[in-house]
Amino acid sequence: MLRWIIFIIVYIVMGLYTLQALKTVTRYPWVYYLFITIAVLVLGNFIYQFTAGEEEGRVLSRSKSYAFGLLLTVLAFQLVTILFLFSEDIFRVISSGYQKFFGQSKEFTLPERRKFLSILGLGLAAIPFGALLYGMYKGKYNFKVLKYNLEYDDLPDAFDGYQITQISDVHSGSFDNRKKIEYAVDLINKQKSDVILFTGDMVNNMATEMEPWSDLFTTLDAKDGKFSVLGNHDYGDYVDWETEEAKSQNLEDLKNLQRNMGFDLLLNENRFLQKGDDKIALVGVENWGRGGFKKAGDLKKAAANVGKDDFKILMSHDPSHWEDVVLHDEYHYHLTLSGHTHGMQFGIEIPGWIKWSPVKWRYKYWAGIYKELGQYINVNRGFGFLGYPGRVGIWPEITVITLKKKA
């Protein structure tokens, strides 16, 4: 309760501060009332969704997700505006103090706010405000196909030109637009890859979240099949289950659902993709994550009966596994496919110029292709979304990787 009170007080103070900028810019009362109404409704909805409106057994329902997204949008607007007002207020206080002690004025009076700075602050605040709204309305379904060619000296000859489509982090419990998902599934099939690999987090929490979408994902097709591994959300660890049996049953239901959709689920296992006399090993581990995330992945077990000299592709949900374990393993894993980070669903990307997201402060390898010690990893930005119900700058991704024999 104390945290709620502190949060509400801070939110109100920020709102009142932002209101000062609006009063400096315009004298129309309806603008003030509109801002106050929006701020109060957003706060009220957020409090309701996370207290009285909480749904049993779910950590972050769709309604709670949107309540959080709208609150984040208003807070971003307020924070940017306050940065300008606060910097101006520091100058106003210093200026008034100087006039009182060293000037001719005997009273401490603050000069009026400068309209220009308030307009500038509100204008800049409108950028993240509009971007976050766009991210919830359009950005979360702005699917991008990213294509890479990776060259290897030791790629088996028959696999020269072999094409892989990777998807990750579906988070089906967040979906709210069937036509957009139909479009994305069709976009995956249009790549006509040899194999489809899914690298974890099919759901947010519960297997039932995937049931309305399973018929669509069943239509995913590749001539060498489709394979999957589990992500941290697939285990149901973020739900307050009534019994351990219920939690275990949920995981079994999800495993069976994936298999019924045609996925070959690799649980610390491997398969060989064969072309004539040539083969490559496909290794799949359960989730292994740093910093409190589940460490069910067993690389040694997963690579049992795989030769040291075999060409190896590893599916591991969390890229920290690659950094902490895979890179230094006695086996050379030519390509690792991960997801998990979502690119934080927020950032700036201009190909060839800039790639930035706050998530880089937590994950060294957070989006795209990286190469270390002669081994590659692709960190997929994710197919779906979680928490904030949108994406800004970091768009949902379908990765297409073509393996090439180095000349």
Indicate whether 215 and 350 sit together in one domain. Answer: yes
Which of the listed residues 111, 137, 163 is the one where a domain comes to its end?
A: 137
Higher pLDDT, 91 or 362: 362
Report phi then psi at 314, rounded to 5.
Answer: -110, 135
Mean pLDDT of 282-290: 97
Token representation of residue 272 = 């060989």
Question: CA 350 to CA 138: how far, in whole Å?
Answer: 19
Contact status, residue 146 vs residue 379, Cβ threshold 8 Å: no
Q: Quick one: what percent of the chain has pLDDT higher than 70?
A: 91
Beta pairing partners, 227: 197, 264
Is the confidence at residue 213, as pLDDT, over 90?
Answer: yes
Which of the listed residues 116, 137, 158 is the one where a domain comes to its end?
A: 137
Indicate whether 104 and 199 sit together in one domain. Answer: no
Mean pLDDT of 157-184: 97
Which of the listed residues 69, 104, 137 is the one where a domain comes to its end?
A: 137
Measured between alpha carbons, how far apart are the two ends of the chain, in Å?
66
> What confidence category does residue 361 fall into, taking pLDDT thresholds of 50, 70 and 90?
very high
> What confidence category does residue 57 fall into, taking pLDDT thresholds of 50, 70 and 90?
very low
Indicate whether 114 and 68 sit together in one domain. Answer: yes
Give the total number of structural domains in the chain: 2
Is the confidence at residue 110, as pLDDT, over 60?
Answer: no
Indicate whether 46 and 186 sit together in one domain. Answer: no
Mean pLDDT of 171-187: 96
Indicate whether 235 and 364 sit together in one domain. Answer: yes
**Residues ≥6 apart with Cβ < 8 Å to 88:** 113, 114, 117
Indicate whether 190 and 257 sit together in one domain. Answer: yes
Mean pLDDT of 176-188: 97
Can you say how many angstroms the Cα of residue 222 is from the centroid of all Cα atoms in its chain?
Answer: 26
Indicate whether 214 and 345 sit together in one domain. Answer: yes
Q: What's the predicted TM-score (pTM) here? A: 0.91
Beta pairing partners, 265: 228
- Residue 305: give its domain's CATH number: 3.60.21.10
Is the confidence at residue 112, as pLDDT, over 80?
Answer: no
Q: Domain span at residue 291?
A: 145-405
Indicate whether 122 and 209 sit together in one domain. Answer: no
Report phi then psi at 152, rounded to 5.
Answer: -135, 140
Angle at 97 between CA 92 and CA 100, to 5 degrees: 125
